[in-house]
Amino acid sequence: MNNNLPVEIDGITGEVETLPPHKGQRYRCKLDSLGDVKREMAKVYREARSGLVDVQEATKLTWCLQAVGKAIEGSDLEKRIEALEAKNGH
Protein backbone atom coordinates (compact mmCIF):
# COMPACT_ATOMS: atom_id res chain seq x y z
CA MET A 1 0.00 0.00 0.00
CA ASN A 2 1.55 3.26 -1.12
CA ASN A 3 -0.48 5.78 0.84
CA ASN A 4 -0.08 7.50 4.16
CA LEU A 5 -3.53 6.61 5.45
CA PRO A 6 -3.95 4.25 8.40
CA VAL A 7 -5.08 0.70 7.68
CA GLU A 8 -6.95 -2.04 9.48
CA ILE A 9 -7.13 -5.77 8.94
CA ASP A 10 -10.63 -7.10 8.37
CA GLY A 11 -11.31 -9.65 11.11
CA ILE A 12 -13.35 -11.87 8.82
CA THR A 13 -11.49 -11.82 5.52
CA GLY A 14 -8.01 -10.92 6.76
CA GLU A 15 -7.81 -8.27 4.03
CA VAL A 16 -5.98 -5.03 4.72
CA GLU A 17 -8.34 -2.08 4.34
CA THR A 18 -7.44 1.59 4.26
CA LEU A 19 -9.26 3.60 6.90
CA PRO A 20 -11.14 6.70 5.77
CA PRO A 21 -9.06 9.87 5.60
CA HIS A 22 -9.58 12.79 7.89
CA LYS A 23 -12.20 15.30 6.84
CA GLY A 24 -11.10 17.20 3.78
CA GLN A 25 -9.02 14.35 2.36
CA ARG A 26 -10.27 12.35 -0.60
CA TYR A 27 -11.39 8.81 0.22
CA ARG A 28 -10.83 6.11 -2.37
CA CYS A 29 -12.26 2.64 -2.40
CA LYS A 30 -13.02 0.16 -5.14
CA LEU A 31 -16.73 0.07 -6.02
CA ASP A 32 -16.68 -1.86 -9.30
CA SER A 33 -18.81 -4.81 -8.22
CA LEU A 34 -21.62 -5.65 -5.83
CA GLY A 35 -19.03 -7.44 -3.69
CA ASP A 36 -17.04 -4.21 -3.42
CA VAL A 37 -20.17 -2.30 -2.44
CA LYS A 38 -21.08 -4.97 0.11
CA ARG A 39 -17.62 -4.78 1.71
CA GLU A 40 -17.80 -0.99 1.91
CA MET A 41 -21.28 -1.12 3.46
CA ALA A 42 -20.04 -3.60 6.05
CA LYS A 43 -17.12 -1.31 6.78
CA VAL A 44 -19.44 1.67 7.29
CA TYR A 45 -21.57 -0.47 9.61
CA ARG A 46 -18.57 -1.54 11.68
CA GLU A 47 -17.35 2.05 11.92
CA ALA A 48 -20.79 3.23 13.08
CA ARG A 49 -21.04 0.42 15.63
CA SER A 50 -17.58 1.32 16.91
CA GLY A 51 -18.47 4.99 17.24
CA LEU A 52 -15.92 6.04 14.59
CA VAL A 53 -18.65 7.40 12.31
CA ASP A 54 -21.84 9.14 13.38
CA VAL A 55 -24.89 6.92 12.80
CA GLN A 56 -26.61 9.64 10.74
CA GLU A 57 -23.52 9.96 8.54
CA ALA A 58 -23.34 6.17 8.20
CA THR A 59 -27.00 6.14 7.12
CA LYS A 60 -26.29 8.71 4.40
CA LEU A 61 -23.24 6.79 3.20
CA THR A 62 -25.22 3.55 3.14
CA TRP A 63 -27.94 5.15 1.00
CA CYS A 64 -25.25 6.31 -1.42
CA LEU A 65 -23.74 2.83 -1.52
CA GLN A 66 -27.18 1.32 -2.18
CA ALA A 67 -27.57 3.66 -5.17
CA VAL A 68 -24.17 2.57 -6.49
CA GLY A 69 -25.22 -1.07 -6.03
CA LYS A 70 -28.43 -0.50 -7.98
CA ALA A 71 -26.47 1.17 -10.79
CA ILE A 72 -24.13 -1.83 -10.94
CA GLU A 73 -27.10 -4.23 -11.03
CA GLY A 74 -28.71 -2.22 -13.84
CA SER A 75 -25.49 -2.12 -15.82
CA ASP A 76 -24.93 -5.86 -15.40
CA LEU A 77 -28.52 -6.59 -16.43
CA GLU A 78 -28.17 -4.35 -19.47
CA LYS A 79 -25.02 -6.22 -20.55
CA ARG A 80 -26.75 -9.58 -20.14
CA ILE A 81 -29.74 -8.47 -22.20
CA GLU A 82 -27.46 -7.13 -24.94
CA ALA A 83 -25.54 -10.43 -25.00
CA LEU A 84 -28.79 -12.43 -25.27
CA GLU A 85 -30.09 -10.18 -28.04
CA ALA A 86 -26.80 -10.48 -29.93
CA LYS A 87 -26.92 -14.24 -29.56
CA ASN A 88 -30.50 -14.38 -30.88
CA GLY A 89 -29.81 -11.99 -33.74
CA HIS A 90 -31.91 -9.04 -32.58
pLDDT digits (tens, 9 = 90+) for 10-67: 777 887 877 766 677 778 889 999 999 999 999 999 999 999 999 999 999 999 999 9
Query: For residue 38, what are the contacts with CB-CB under 8 A and spacing of at least 6?
Result: 69
CA-closest candidate to residue 61, choices 49, 45, 72, 75? 45
From the CB of residue 43, how many other CB atoms can be counted at a distance below 10 Å? 21
Judged against a pLDDT cut of 50, whether residue 81 lies above it is answered with yes
Query: Which ranges constitute the DSSP H helices of the chain?
Result: 34-49, 55-87
- Quick one: 39 exposed, middle or buried, by C-beta within 10 A (0-12, 13-18, 19+)? buried
